[in-house]
Amino acid sequence: MPWLELSLQHERRDADRVERALQNAGALSVTQLDAGEQPILEPKPGETPLWREIRALALFPAEADRRGLVEVLHELLPWLLPGQVEFREVEDADWTRAWMDQYQPMRFGRRLWIYPSTIEPPDDAESVVVRLDPGLAFGTGTHATTALCLEWLDGLELAGKRVLDVGCGSGVLAIAALRLGAAAAHGVDIDPQALIASRSNAEANGVSGRFTLSERIEPGSGPFDVVLANILAGALEQLAPEICAMLAPGGALALSGILEHQADDVQARYREACEALGTRMRDGWVLVSGRRRIVEQSPSDPFTAGSPAAPADAGPTTS
């Protein structure tokens, strides 16, 4: 099945901005290359690209509107020059082969591991393993935003808990929660490809019977003991009332996909409904975590949650 590849060359300083713009334009996958054509697939913690010139390759459905994509990118990246964006059709194998050659097991926290299907994990009773191969949906643990969420999950007591994953991508966070002992998880993503990937990954990890999916947050489906949202900061602020309404009083909250300069605004948006808000940082990205307030809210409060539930451990946070 062919896909549309968009190629865009830019300077190192614009790497994060270009990646966010491509995601906003609907990219299914983004890879960064240097002039020597060596991809940044698994930067180690604390590493950033050192190349002066970077070529971003973004994958879109074959039927995507090329002119429309160029117009959107010119709005998001005003410095783009005519002809700077190039397109070509590619096959699935062109995108997955490089990933599989370099994708190695990754550890998050004390016991959580992500393993590709090509490597058999050792027989270790203390380790919790999620089997996940890189694909078209975001979320394999290589990006700092996902890694922060996985480490946060590893520090929770999840036995018997209900988990909501907003912007589930590959489903890695919800699946990890289930493997760590959660009773049930629900994933939400507006991208149909993400829902397909999440369902497939859940089956591969033997948790599909406890994992449900939908394209939007469904009123009345809560409350959840744990809510994660690994999306862009603007969406986190916009969805704050809906996200908080899904979180049970005392429930644990984690918000990721936030750049360092955006963290204060996101925290301010959630402070009315949540407490013990703190941050963790990696490679310029921030995770905000806290708990839903247990005190009763007035009926007019748009952040009102569902019926009370047992408090969930939000894990340690730092201001």
Where does the pLDDT of residue 102 fall: very low under 50, low under 70, confident under 90, or very high at 90 and above?
A: low
Is the pTM above the cut of 0.85? no
- Containing 80, the helix (H) or strand (E) segment is none
Contact by Cβ (8 Å): 317, 166: no
User: Which tokens sit at 87?
Assistant: 């397109």
Strands (E), 22-79: 29-33, 53-61
Two domains, one topology: 2-101 and 139-292: no
Residue bearing the bigger pLDDT, 228 or 313: 228
pLDDT in tens, 2-57: 789 899 888 877 877 888 899 888 888 787 776 444 444 434 434 444 456 778 88
Torsion of CA 86, 90, 96, 101, to 10 degrees: -80
SS3 286: strand
Q: Indicate the domain borders of the chain.
A: 2-101, 139-292
| pLDDT, tens only, 282-309 | 888 899 999 999 975 555 554 554 433 3
Please, are residues 172 and 201 in contact by the beta-carbon 8 Å criterion? yes
Range name among 62-66, 99-103, 281-285 with the lowest pLDDT average: 99-103
Closest of 34, 76, 74, 38 to residue 54, by C-alpha = 34
The Cα 174–Cα 187 span in angstroms is 7
pLDDT (tens digit per residue) in 146-171: 889 999 999 999 999 999 999 998 89
CATH of 139-292, one of 3.40.630.30, 3.60.15.10, 3.40.50.150, 3.40.1030.10: 3.40.50.150
pLDDT tens digits, residue range 173-214? Answer: 999 999 999 999 999 998 887 888 899 999 999 999 999 999
pLDDT tens per residue, range 140-152: 556 788 889 999 9
Contact 130, 172 (CB under 8 A): yes
CATH topology of domain 2-101: Alpha-Beta Plaits (3.30.70)
Residue 137 pLDDT more than 70?
no
Sheet (strand 112-115) strand order: 106-108, 112-115, 128-131
